[in-house]
Each structure stands twice: as C-alpha cells, then as structure tokens.
Chain A
Amino acid sequence: NAGVMQNPRHLVRRRGQEARLRCSPMKGHSHVYWYRQLPEEGLKFMVYLQKENIIDESGMPKERFSAEFPKEGPSILRIQQVVRGDSAAYFCASSPRGRLTPQETQYFGPGTRLLVL
C-alpha cells in the first residue's frame, strides 16, 4: 500500500519564479492537508482540501499561494513569484475522512524541500 507521495522531493527556484508542489494522497484518502515547516520549527497549517473543494485555507498567505485538488490527479500547491522567505519544507498529509471524525489522523508524505535563491 503506497503511502502519501510528494514530488519533487527537492526544488530550487530563483526569486520571482513559480514553484509547483504535488501531493498524491494514500489510496482511498480524499482529504489533503498542506503544512509548511521552517528549519527547526513546527508544522504550520496552510490549507485543507477535499476533491475539487477548498475546505479551509485560513493558513494560506493571501497572495502568491494557491492550492487545488482536482477530481483526477494530485493535489497541487502553487507558489507564484517566490521569495527567499518561501524556502521551507512543505508537507502534505492525507486522511480518509477528514475532520468529521476526531479520531481520524493524518498520514504525512516525505515533503518537498523548497530552496529559493
């Protein structure tokens, strides 16, 4: 049973370029969460998506960041016009049922390390 997949694992971008991070949830999971982790810090919630819907984007910066989870294909976190402060590890997690069941947990992917030069 494949776990949560993320690609690329490492991404280098120059300031002003776009970064696209992909996340394929575990088989049978239709809920995806994105987190950002700065070096030596905790996991900061960014956005929660179900298929074709954004449920909660309260942790997303208002500008340059967007996320989608289409009916077919992986979830994508898109960062436009990247700046040095965007350098971080971005983790995706998935769960089968999402927030409706408090006992449901999330399973994390290996993360994408973004470095902005």
Chain B
Amino acid sequence: QQPVQSPQAVILREGEDAVINCSSSKALYSVHWYRQKHGEAPVFLMILLKGGEQKGHEKISASFNEKKQQSSLYLTASQLSYSGTYFCGGRYNNNDMRFGAGTRLTVKP
C-alpha cells in the first residue's frame, strides 16, 4: 500500500518541462505533493482531492485522475530552485497516508 512514482530521476536544463507520475493500485482519496531539498525537511506543495481536480502553484501544477488512481505533477519552464526530490503522499480510504519513493529532479543551468 504505497504509491509508485516514476521516473526515479530526471535531469533538466533550465527552462525545460518535466512530468512526475504517482500511481496506486489501491483507491486514493487524495494525493499530497511535497518537495525535499537535500538535508532539509519535505515542504508541502499541494493537495489534490477526488474529483479529477487540477491545481497550480506558480509554474508547478498537478492533476489527479481518480479513475486511473494516478496523479501527475507538471513542472513548466523549470528553474534551478526546482531541484530536489519530489514525493507524492497517497491518502487512502482508511485515511492512512503513505509516501512514494521519490523522484529526484536536477535542474542544470
């Protein structure tokens, strides 16, 4: 009962786009996205609830496809500050939250 993230790692040039996926074999009630920089605590980005909603925060947005039990995080025109490891947290119907293994994003100048 743990979301699966893909890819495991991404390397981008500044200004390029990236998509990080999070999928679950069990029904997700909500998806929570976090970013963690090396040696620091995970920082909350956004929550997506059931209903296929999309959300955005500056040039980072996400979607949640309830039917596919899949969420995607979209990073547009990436900046150096986007570098870090992105985790999705899946909230299940029993309200447990479990995290994926993370996707390491490196943005190079």
Contacts and interface: CB of A to CB of B under 8 A. Distances in A.
Contact of A100 (B41, B47, B95): B95
Interface string B80-98: 0000000101010001111
Contact of A105 (B44, B87, B96, B99): B44
Contacts, number: 52
Contacts of B96: 45, 56, 99
B41 A111 contact: yes
Interface residues of A, number: 21
B99 A43 contact: yes
A106 interface: yes
A108 B41 contact: yes
Contact of A103 (B30, B87, B98, B100): B30
Interface residues of B, number: 22
Given A42-B100, A56-B96, A103 B44 contact: no
Q: Which 9 A-B pairs have the closest CB atoms?
A: A99-B95, A42-B101, A108-B41, A43-B99, A102-B29, A102-B30, A108-B42, A110-B41, A42-B102
Interface of A: 4, 33, 35, 41-45, 56, 91, 99-100, 102-103, 105-111
Interface of B: 29-30, 32, 34, 40-44, 47, 49, 87, 89, 91, 95-102
Given A45-B98, A108-B44, A110-B40, 6 more contacts: A41-B101, A45-B97, A105-B47, A108-B34, A108-B41, A108-B42
